[in-house]
Chains A and B, each alone.
Chain A
Amino acid sequence: KQEVTQIPAALSVPEGENLVLNCSFTDSAIYNLQWFRQDPGKGLTSLLLIQSSQREQTSGRLNASLDKSSGRSTLYIAASQPGDSATYLCAVRVPGGGADGLTFGKGTHLIIQP
């Protein structure tokens, strides 16, 4: 069974710092990996989607990498801002049961201090 782990569970950094969030998964047989942002009491907003054949994706200050063979992904946030404070979730789409449904990590709760 695919398991997704996110480290750290919580992170607090001063504004302006660059930071890295980590995601690992146990089975490398994935279709893709998706990073989401969740604000308190809100839904999930898709940030980046990396296909299994890709190594990285970029959107603005965000860069996500994927090393499928080692079962790891990182989300790099450059020049962090207080508005980046949220919970970040990674999820992998796996073949098979659940209509290739997503398997989620438990998230990293990020606080950017002004």
Chain B
Amino acid sequence: NAGVTQTPKFRVLKTGQSMTLLCAQDMNHEYMYWYRQDPGMGLRLIHYSVGEGTTAKGEVPDGYNVSRLKKQNFLLGLESAAPSQTSVYFCASSYRGKDTEAFFGQGTRLTVV
């Protein structure tokens, strides 16, 4: 009963390095989202996808790229990490938008030094 799984759970990067965060869901959901959570800021939407092969920008997309090559996976990439990207990243999925329930992964804690 996996639900939404994020990999890795923790990571430390040096400024300028790149990495990819993986989100996988086994609920056959169409919609997937990436959020970041920062103290005092709450959760903010980075990018989202409404289906395989589609992606779009959310509230805070700068410095991130995403891909949805398979329906069950949503990847978040940092091409050149900056200290301002130190945060906890959450992936979420839902069957669709509108009235459906959102399910979240366990988060990835990323520190950029």
Interface residues of A (CB under 8 A from B): 31-32, 34, 36, 41-46, 49, 51-52, 89, 91, 93, 95, 98-102, 104-107
Contacts and interface: CB of A to CB of B under 8 A. Distances in A.
Contacts of B56: 98-99
Interface residues of B, number: 26
A32 B109 CA distance: 29
A88 B52 CA distance: 32
Interface in B31-76: 31, 33, 40-43, 45, 48-50, 56, 58-59
Nearest to B31: A99
30 contacts: A31-B98, A31-B99, A32-B99, A32-B101, A41-B109, A42-B107, A43-B106, A43-B107, A44-B92, A45-B104, A46-B102, A46-B104, A49-B101, A52-B99, A91-B43, A93-B97, A93-B98, A93-B99, A95-B98, A98-B59, A99-B49, A100-B31, A100-B97, A101-B58, A102-B43, A102-B45, A104-B42, A106-B41, A106-B42, A107-B42
